[in-house]
Amino acid sequence: MVRKPTSKETARKPNMREAILAAAEELFATNGFNAVSVRDIAQAAGANPGSVTYHFKTKDGLLLEIYRRHCGPMNLRRSELLAAAKRVRDLQDRLEAVVRAYVAPAFTSGSDLAGGGARFTRLRAVMSAEGNEVARKIIAQTFDDTSHAFIDAIHDSLPHVPRTDIVWRSHFLLGALYYSLVTPDRVSRLSRGEADGSDAASAIEQLVQASVAAFQAPALDQAAPARRRPVVSSKT
């Protein structure tokens, strides 16, 4: 808010503002918005509750700033990756490259803003599930452009599949991605320890392969007529 670049404004001290943002991001992403109090965040950041009010005015303002900080670099990075993927000549390779460009940045760890990062992606998943108003507004006006770009790119690789189907499948992809970040332990549990749901590389490969196959599925209108639809009835 306050503009005053006195001398070295870069990280004057341990930089409380950043610590608060990081702590809030982590707590919101794992517990949801309402389950976390401003005091929880302050404590996790080693700050005073009043500091949060000072830097971000309100709790909503804090969430807003988390989104703001990520969206720019993340969308930039994504459009770079998408542009590179679209340059792949082979149609099938291109599809996979595009899907990978969509999936991979969501799993990056650490604090690199550019990637978007697993933490911020998980935050978005949780906010979306909670129907958070602040998040809803930002998402509609910031992420839809990127989503459309990816949908178009995928549609270019699969011209025979109607755009509507692509939209549905990309929606499923995002849901799968979100869920993988939200409950990775479930994968470990259901595979009886044979798979590690927390392993980003595995998650990316599995998700890319499964999604590519899903995108390549025949169009819905054409799927049915050739084969009879199996009808199932229980004996209730």
Using the 8-state DSSP alphabet, how is residue 77 labeled? H
> Of 40, 152, 41, nearest to 95 (Cα)?
152
Choose between 7 and 234: whose C-beta lies nearer to its own copies: 234
Cβ of 152: how many Cβ atoms within 10 Å? 14
What is the pattern of x (binds its own copies, CB under 8 A) and - over residues 133-162? Answer: -------x---x--xx--x-----------
Q: Does 40 bind DNA (CB under 7 A)?
A: yes
Sequence-ordered strand ranges (E) for 46-119: none
Q: Which of residues 43-72 bind its own copies (CB under 8 A)?
A: none
Tell which phi-psi region holds residue 115, choosing left (phi > 0), alpha (psi between -120 and 50) or beta: alpha
Q: How far is the CB of 183 from its own copies (least distance, A)?
A: 6
Q: Does 192 bind DNA (CB under 7 A)?
A: no
Given candidates 24, 27, 51, 96, which one binds DNA under the rule CB under 7 A?
A: 51
- The rounded distance, in Å, linking the Cα atoms of 187 and 177 is 13
53 binds, among its own copies, DNA, none (CB under 5 to 8 A by kind): DNA
- Using the contact rule CB under 8 A, the part of the chain among 1-9, 18-26, 49-57, 217-225 near its own copies is 217-225
Q: Does 33 bind its own copies (CB under 8 A)?
A: yes
Given candidates 21, 29, 38, 174, which one binds DNA under the rule CB under 7 A?
A: 38
> Of 18, 58, 28, 27, nearest to 129 (Cα)?
28
Cβ of 13: how many Cβ atoms within 10 Å? 5
- Using the contact rule CB under 8 A, the part of the chain among 4-12, 50-58, 60-68, 80-88 near its own copies is 80-88
Choose between 37 and 111: whose C-beta lies nearer to its own copies: 37
17 binds, among DNA, its own copies, none (CB under 5 to 8 A by kind): DNA
Q: Which of residues 85-124 bind DNA (CB under 7 A)?
A: none
Cβ-defined contacts of 47-50 (< 8 Å, 24+) = 47/16, 47/19, 47/20
Given candidates 15, 48, 141, 216, which one binds its own copies under the rule CB under 8 A?
A: 216
Choose between 16 and 138: whose C-beta lies nearer to its own copies: 138
> Of 159, 123, 92, 106, nearest to 28 (Cα)?
123
Given candidates 21, 74, 153, 173, which one binds its own copies under the rule CB under 8 A?
A: 173
- The rounded distance, in Å, linking the Cα atoms of 30 and 168 is 27
> Of 214, 170, 18, nearest to 82 (Cα)?
170
